[in-house]
Amino acid sequence: ASDIYKIAKYAMTELKFMEITTQIEHTIPKTNKQPERTLTTTNKMMIPNYTEYYYQYTKGIKTGWHDEAGYCIVTSATADGYTYVCVAMGAPFEDENKNEIPNGAMIDSKNLYRWALTTFELKNVIDAEKPVDEVGLKFSWGKDTLLLLPEKDFNYLLPKDVKPSSVTITTIEKPDFVNAPIHKGDIIGKASVSY
Contact predicate 149/126, CB 8 Å: no
Distance CA 46, CA 52 (A): 11
Mean pLDDT by groups of 10 residues along the chain of 195 residues: 97 96 96 96 97 97 94 96 96 94 97 97 92 93 92 92 89 92 93 89
- pLDDT for the residue numbered 195: 84
Residue 43's pLDDT is 98
Contacts of 40 (CB under 8 A, 6+ apart): 24, 25
Residues with Cβ < 8 Å from 100, sequence gap 6 or more? 93, 94
Apex 140 CA angle, 134 and 144, nearest 5: 40
The pLDDT value recorded for residue 165 is: 85
pLDDT of residue 171: 80
Residues comprising the chain, all counted: 195
55/134 Cα distance (integer angstroms): 50
Give dist(CA 111, CA 32) in Å, integer.
45
